Amino acid sequence: MRSTDVEESGTRQRAAAQAPHDPLDELYRRPGFLIRRAQQIAVSLFLEETGALGVTNSQYGILLVLKHRPGIDQISVAKLLGLDRSTTALVMSKLEKAGLIERCIGAHDRRRHNLQLTRAGEKMLERLAEPARRAQARVLSPFSPEERAEFLRLLDKFVGKFNGSTRVPLETHRRSAKKS
């Protein structure tokens, strides 16, 4: 530990001892509260960077999935993103109305609709690439490069441990978690 870290830690401890205890401190230190708050901040930073393009995080995720899995069906998209079916249907409808995706009747199963990006959807993804990169950089900006790697590793470990117990498990995480 560096001497400046020790000094800062001592200063914080003295300030905490002098400050009156806030009864909400326990709430604010709960993992669930901090995770939810971190997610709110990450969404806010994403929207600040991409706001002019009018695309939400969920819409961006769906567009990325369709870029890399053209022809996939709606249920599979939901599983890859850990979204419930009703949310996925609403987001898909908005993307379709915006002309960014299209649904095609499946060749092998006429009840199943396959999804793909339109040319406008491809262009939108191109326009989103840099703002999304900036948003990600801003989310990770409080950390040193080593802390970023550790933060992401710990989040991945947490998600991998509890993914299967959620109402909407993330399909790809189940596969990677089994390999570990």
Q: Work out the pLDDT band at 142, boundaries 50, 70, 90.
A: very high
Distance (Å) of CA 91 to CA 71, 99, 136:
17, 12, 22
Which runs of E-coded beta strand occur in the chain?
101-105, 113-117
DSSP state string for 31-42 = HHHHHHHHHHHH
Closest CA to 34 of 46, 25, 47: 25
Q: What is the 3-state secondary structure (H, E, C) of 89-112?
A: HHHHHHHHHCCCEEEEECCCCCCC
C-alpha 89/C-alpha 63 separation (Å) is 14
Task: Check residue 180 and give its pLDDT.
Answer: 44
Query: Would you list the domain boundaries of the chain?
Result: 25-142, 144-180
Q: What is the mean pLDDT of residues 154-180?
A: 77
Q: Is 98 exposed, middle or buried (0-12, 13-18, 19+ CB in 10 A)?
A: middle
pLDDT (average), residues 140-148: 97
Q: Which amino acid is at 143?
A: F
Q: How do residues 37-77 score in pLDDT, each as one tens digit? A: 999 999 999 999 999 999 999 999 999 999 999 999 999 99
User: What is the reported pTM?
Assistant: 0.78
> Is residue 32's pLDDT more than 70?
yes
Q: Which of 56-70, 80-94, 122-136, 163-177 has the lowest mean pLDDT?
A: 163-177
* 102 beta partners: 116
Q: Does domain 25-142 have CATH number 1.10.10.10?
A: yes
Range in 21-25, 33-37, 96-100 with the lowest mean pLDDT = 21-25
Compute, in degrees rounded to 10, the torsion defined by CA atoms 95, 97, 102, 104.
Answer: 130
